[in-house]
Every structure is written in C-alpha cells, then in structure tokens.
Structure 1
Amino acid sequence: MEQFSKRCNLRFFGIPETNNEKCRDVIIDIISTKLNLSSISTEDIEVAYRSGSSKGNAPRVMFVRFYSARVKNDVYSNKKNLKGSRITIREDLTATRMTIVKEKIARHGKNQVWTTNGRIVWLENGNVKSAVP
C-alpha cells in the first residue's frame, strides 16, 4: 500500500539550485529540453519541491509528484536521455525497497539493478530477476 501511494512520484538528483527557483518550472524545463517531452506541462505536476538539508555544494534532491502515473512513467522511461548530464531520476521507493536496492547494487553493481513501477529488477548471471517485497 505504501509503495502504491508513491506510484506518481519521482526524485530528481543533481539539479543545480538557484535563489527563488520555481521547482515546477525547473522540472518542466528539464523534461522538455533534456527528455524531449514537450507534451508535459506544469499542469501535469501536482507538487515539486526540494527536500533534505544542504550538504556543502551538492544540490538537494527535488521531489516531484505528478497527477498521473502515465505521465510519471513517460518521464521515467526517457531518463536515458540524461546520460552525460549530472542529473539522475529515481523512483520514490519505500524504505524497505530502497534497502533491497542498495543490497542488490552492492552485490551486482549499479548498472545491473533498476526499478520499474516500484518493482526491483537486476541481472544475475545474465538472467533477469525481480523482487517485490
């Protein structure tokens, strides 16, 4: 149930912070210019804000909740277009699922582990495995 409530959420990492920024506008700019999704607008975003405390020069994570899981999935499925930038997108996972993801990354490597709709997927000996806690 807890993961289901997060089905429309994404977390954006590595977006530089500016004074008086409007998080929705920043996210829409990234979505339209870097992800090439011009059909998504600020009306598709329920809420967008920075989360956590500042740690030196590292920008804080940006939390985004979309009105629709379809829009969230469109954005998440185009994250490959961010390759080479310092921006990454991750699904908003429960603490239990995030612990499992970290364990799988430690065992198999970060390029062999991913999530899709809250489901944890990894490659093990060339075979795709998955877990839903």
Structure 2
Amino acid sequence: MSKTRTNKGEDELHTTIKAVVNNKLVSSNEFITLLSDSIMDVITKMYDKEIDVLKKQNDELTKVLRNQEHQIKTLVANQESCDRIRRSRNVIFYGVQESDNENCMDTILGIINNKLNIRLDLMSIDNCFRMKIPDRNNIKPIMTQFSTVSIKQLVYNKKKLLKGTGMVIREDLSPETLKLFKAAVEKIKKNGRLWSNNGNIYVKLNDKDIISKIKKLSDIETM
C-alpha cells in the first residue's frame, strides 16, 4: 500500500520520536528512522481503511439517491399521465358572451346543437362552468367536461364551424403542454399552422408539407 505522508509531517514525527527515544538513552538514527516508518505505515493503513469505508458509504448513498431520483421521475410521469387522462374529456369554449343568471350547460348545448350541428343532450356533459380568469377580451371561458372522450373529440373536430362567430374551442392542456404550445406559437408566428389534438401538439410550416409533432422545447428550436 502506498504511503501518503508529507515531508513536514514526517519531519515532525521523526523529531518527536527522536526526543522520546533520547530520553530512553537510545540515539541510533537508523532505529529512529525505522520506528518512524513503522508508525507512518500504521497511520497510513488506518487512513486507507477509513477512506475505503467512506468510499463504500458514498457509493451506497449514490445508489440510494439514484433510486430516489428514478422513483421521483416515475411519480412525475404517472402524475402527468393521470392529469392528461383527466383532461382528455375537456374542452374550453372561448368568446362565449356572458349573461345574467346564465346556465352554462344550456349555453354550451345551444352552441353545440345549433352551431356545430351535433345533437347532444344533458347526459353528454358531466360538468360545465365559467373559469375564473377572463381571456384577453375580458370574457371568462367556459370549461366543459363531456361524459366520454369520443363525444369530446366529436365536438372538437367541428371547431372550424365556429369560424367568424368570435368563439373558439381549445383543448384543456396540462400546464407543461400549454407552456410548450405557447412557446411554439411564439416561434412560428405566421410562418405556419399550430394546433393540438388529444393533448398532443402539431405544427405544419408554410414551406413544408410535413406535419410535425412537438414533444419538447428542443423540437421547437430546430423548426
């Protein structure tokens, strides 16, 4: 095993031992050097053992931290998946004028039946309410949760029929997906078309015929 001593430490140890052995009437320099080396070897081995123990503890701690990191990533992924499933039946209606004592359910059913030409009844909608934060036109959007994903998709696929009415239908995107969507909007501006479907973001640039799916910020940067 290699010795990890410093010249200063060795000199101090040598001087100390020499002083001790001189008191015992032992003055051989070879004896003092041999004794110093023996003690340094013992100390070095002790430190090496301590270092080995610390390395093992560090390795074990690293394994624990990696395992916890993996568990956190899995938990976050599961949470995002659950959130996406929860939002999969939702759409948000923007630009629907507010009225006193309105019934949001009746309002949305009227738009769906009369504007989108889809025949739905009250059983098709589980929940419907005005959101707290108004849009840029100072109109509070209406969050609508349908009873099934298929009904939601049926309504969402007819959103183009609202063109010219001032009303817009958008999916209820998760915070992370919405952040990604806004970043994509800022990136392409008027150089393409951007939309979401089933919680996924798609883009088609004006100079390309390919429809691309945006999954992360780096996808936007390379557009």
Same fold by TM (over 0.5)?
yes
Deviation at 1:128, TM superposition (A): 0.9
SS in 2 for 1:112: strand
Measured in 2, the distance between the counterparts of 1:6 and 1:55 equals: 20
| Aligned pair partner of 1:95 in 153, 175, 189 | 175
1:30 alignment partner in structure 2:
111
The structure-2 alpha-carbon separation of the partners of 1:55 and 1:100, relative to structure 1 and needing over 3 Å to count, comes to closer
Deviation at 1:42, TM superposition (A): 1.4
2:184 alignment partner in structure 1:
104
Indicate the RMSD between aligned Cα atoms, in angstroms: 1.8
Measured in 2, the distance between the counterparts of 1:55 and 1:113 equals: 20
How many percent of aligned residue pairs carry the same amino acid?
28
| Aligned pair partner of 1:128 in 202, 211, 217 | 211
| Aligned pair partner of 1:7 in 76, 88, 97 | 88
Query: Higher helix proportion, which one?
Result: 2
Measured in 2, the distance between the counterparts of 1:130 and 1:54 equals: 29
**Is residue 151 of structure 2 the alignment partner of residue 71 of structure 1?**
yes
| Aligned pair partner of 1:83 in 153, 163, 177 | 163
**Is residue 138 of structure 2 the alignment partner of residue 58 of structure 1?**
yes
Measured in 2, the distance between the counterparts of 1:33 and 1:112 equals: 27
Asked whether the 8 Å contact 2:203–2:212 carries over to 1, the reply is yes
Asked whether the 8 Å contact 1:120–1:130 carries over to 2, the reply is yes
| Aligned pair partner of 2:126 in 22, 35, 46 | 46
- How many pairs are equivalent? 132
Task: Extract structure 1 runs of 4+ deviating beyond 3 A.
Answer: 53-57
TM-score by length of 2: 0.56
Deviation at 1:8, TM superposition (A): 0.1
SS in 2 for 1:81: helix
1:116 alignment partner in structure 2:
197
| Structure 1: runs of 5 or more not aligned | none
Measured in 1, the distance between the counterparts of 2:135 and 2:187 equals: 28
Asked whether the 8 Å contact 1:108–1:123 carries over to 2, the reply is no
TM-score by length of 1: 0.92
Query: Higher strand proportion, which one?
Result: 1
